[in-house]
């Protein structure tokens, strides 16, 4: 979003990452930066110091605890450590609550960010923290022990913050920019890109996936990396597809006859030059080649990452059914080049009113939507693991003996 704004102004974007939240606030106050775009909540105290642009997202502040511990019912009955980022809106909220809960206590951490405190709760080092709902949604898929006890606030608004100065030219440009991206749908698209696939958190499914990263992926990772390098795609994306297809089970067979890690049909395997669909290396190679071929068929006007998601949907439901869904999207006066709009049209392929108007007819259009959204979540987790941002819990020896059929 910041890059889009810089391009709108015709200037170069310089990104600075402060060492702490305290440093971020100091840089705005002292006019060292033009804009702070760090998920800042608009609060009365901050409005006295900073100038906020238009709100771009709504969140709630939530008390977070570890699933292994007893869920607290309210702030009056907290048992254990509560730690929040110093000078954050969360600390501001706690200071406000002390008027009604005089014995409320917490620790303000000047060194750690909210994400690090969430990790500490997940590891049971501290009992509680407060996080914004959007940040928790992203992190809960990786830190699967986290749970929401209750909302600490009413809905709050996030916005860019700027220094208060007599020169209002930047502030006016920010207002114009947000008005534009709200009206043309770009803001909705950006939010969908980051949060659209994280709404349905599946604790059991995610826990099994994390276990399979440890127990199954190592046997096939080299195959994913080699195939991805050959076809110039991200190996983690292909691995996420493979997991959605078969849970990395090389012997997987569906009732419709698709087989192997990438669940190739007999025709697809033949077209991709694959003789044995149950051979892991061959299956991964064939699936990657087929995905890249499908990606190459996607309309060139569709930019990344929308083209990636649409190629996945086509991999699942068929290219021509995807094109039918794009035609429906256009009829609904939405954008056929955006996944956020096309994913709403795909389920209509199962409704007679709509599939009768298409060239290729009926399709179980809800399946590619779920297919893509699951892969997006698996892909995010694999990136975090591969980048070292999260560490996996060591797997007990008995789990290493679980057969692939499970």
Q: Residue 179: pLDDT band by 50, 70, 90 thresholds?
A: very high
Condensed to tens digits (0 to 9), the pLDDT of residues 16-48 reads 988 888 888 889 888 899 999 988 999 988 999
Mean residue pLDDT across the chain? 89
pLDDT at 304: 92
- Does the pLDDT of residue 91 top 70, yes or no? yes
Q: Residue 143: pLDDT band by 50, 70, 90 thresholds?
A: confident
- Does the pLDDT of residue 370 top 50, yes or no? yes
pLDDT at 401: 41
pLDDT at 199: 64
CA torsion, points 45, 99, 122, 38, in degrees to nearest 10?
A: 0
Q: Residue 392: pLDDT band by 50, 70, 90 thresholds?
A: low
Domains in the chain: boundaries: 2-58+157-195, 61-153, 203-401
Provide the CATH number for the domain formed by 203-401 in this structure. 1.10.530.10
Which helix (H) or strand (E) covers residue 228, if one does? helix 217-231
Sequence-distant (6+) residues with CB within 8 A of 153 are 60, 61, 93
Residue 376's nearest CA partner among 282, 312, 327, 294 is 312
- 115 against 320, higher pLDDT: 320
61-153 has which fold?
Answer: D-Maltodextrin-Binding Protein; domain 2 (3.40.190)
pLDDT at 188: 86
- Does the pLDDT of residue 3 top 90, yes or no? yes
- Does the pLDDT of residue 220 top 90, yes or no? yes
- 345 against 189, higher pLDDT: 345
Cα distances (Å, whole numbers) of residue 180 to 4, 172, 177, 186, 313:
11, 12, 5, 8, 30
Condensed to tens digits (0 to 9), the pLDDT of residues 54-89 reads 999 999 999 999 999 999 999 988 888 999 999 999
Length of the chain in terms of residues written: 406
- Does the pLDDT of residue 268 top 90, yes or no? yes
Residue 58 falls in the annotated catalytic set: no
Sequence-distant (6+) residues with CB within 8 A of 17 are none
Given the residues 91, 245, 323, 373, select the one marked as catalytic.
Answer: 245
Give 2-58+157-195's CATH code, choosing from 3.40.50.300, 3.20.20.70, 3.40.50.10260, 3.40.190.10: 3.40.190.10
Provide the whole-model pTM: 0.72
pLDDT at 335: 94
- Does the pLDDT of residue 376 top 80, yes or no? yes
pLDDT at 289: 97
- Does the pLDDT of residue 13 top 60, yes or no? yes
Three-state DSSP class for 379?
helix
pLDDT at 403: 42
Q: Which two tokens stand for residue 336?
A: 């056929």
- Does the pLDDT of residue 242 top 50, yes or no? yes
Q: Residue 144: pLDDT band by 50, 70, 90 thresholds?
A: confident
Q: How far apart are CA 314 and CA 322, in angstroms?
A: 6
Q: Residue 391: pLDDT band by 50, 70, 90 thresholds?
A: low
Specify whether the CB–CB gap between 346 and 325 falls below 8 A.
Answer: yes
Q: How far apart are CA 280 and CA 310, in angstroms?
A: 25
- Does the pLDDT of residue 294 top 60, yes or no? yes
pLDDT at 402: 40
Three-state DSSP class for 377?
helix
- Does the pLDDT of residue 202 top 70, yes or no? no
Which helix (H) or strand (E) covers residue 66, if one does? strand 61-66
Fold agreement (2-58+157-195, 61-153): yes
- Does the pLDDT of residue 204 top 90, yes or no? no
Q: How far apart are CA 77 and CA 164, in angstroms?
A: 40
In the beta sheet, which residues pair with residue 241? none
């Amino acid at each position: 979003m910041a890059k889009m704004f810089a391009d709108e102004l015709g200037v170069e974007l310089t990104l600075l990452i402060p060492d702490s939240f305290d440093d971020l606030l100091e840089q705005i106050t002292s006019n060292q930066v033009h804009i702070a775009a760090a998920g800042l909540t608009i609060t009365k105290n901050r409005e006295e110091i900073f100038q906020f642009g238009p709100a771009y997202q709504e969140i709630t502040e939530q008390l977070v605890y570890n699933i292994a511990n007893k869920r607290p019912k309210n702030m009056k009955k907290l048992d254990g450590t509560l730690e929040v980022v110093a000078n954050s809106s969360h600390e501001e909220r706690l200071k406000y609550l002390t008027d009604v809960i005089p014995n409320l206590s917490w620790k303000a951490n000047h060194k750690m960010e909210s994400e690090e405190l969430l990790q500490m709760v997940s590891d049971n080092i501290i009992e509680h923290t407060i996080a914004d709902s959007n940040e928790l949604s992203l992190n809960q898929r990786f830190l699967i022990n986290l749970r929401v006890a209750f909302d600490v606030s009413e809905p709050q608004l996030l916005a860019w913050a700027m220094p208060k100065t007599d020169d209002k030219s930047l502030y006016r440009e920010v207002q114009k920019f947000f008005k534009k991206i709200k009206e043309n749908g770009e803001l909705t698209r950006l939010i969908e890109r980051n949060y659209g696939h994280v709404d349905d958190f599946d604790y059991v499914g995610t826990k099994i996936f994390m276990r399979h990263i440890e127990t199954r992926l190592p046997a096939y990772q080299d195959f994913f990396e080699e195939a991805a390098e050959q076809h110039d795609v991200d190996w983690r994306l292909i691995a996420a597809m493979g997991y959605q297809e078969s849970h990395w089970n090389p012997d997987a067979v569906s009732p419709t006859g698709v087989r192997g890690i990438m669940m190739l049909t007999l025709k697809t395997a033949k077209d991709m030059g694959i003789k044995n669909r149950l051979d892991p290396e061959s299956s991964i190679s064939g699936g990657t080649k087929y995905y890249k071929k499908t990606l190459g068929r996607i309309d060139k006007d569709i930019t990344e990452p929308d083209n990636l998601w649409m190629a996945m949907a086509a991999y699942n439901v068929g290219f021509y059914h995807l094109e039918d869904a794009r035609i429906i999207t256009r009829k609904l006066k939405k954008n056929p080049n955006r996944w956020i709009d096309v994913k709403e049209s795909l389920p209509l392929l199962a409704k007679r009113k709509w599939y009768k108007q298409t060239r290729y007819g009926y399709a179980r259009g809800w399946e590619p939507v779920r297919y893509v959204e699951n892969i997006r979540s698996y892909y995010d987790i694999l990136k975090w693991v591969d980048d070292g941002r999260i560490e996996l819990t060591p797997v007990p020896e008995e789990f290493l003996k679980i057969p692939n059929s499970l």
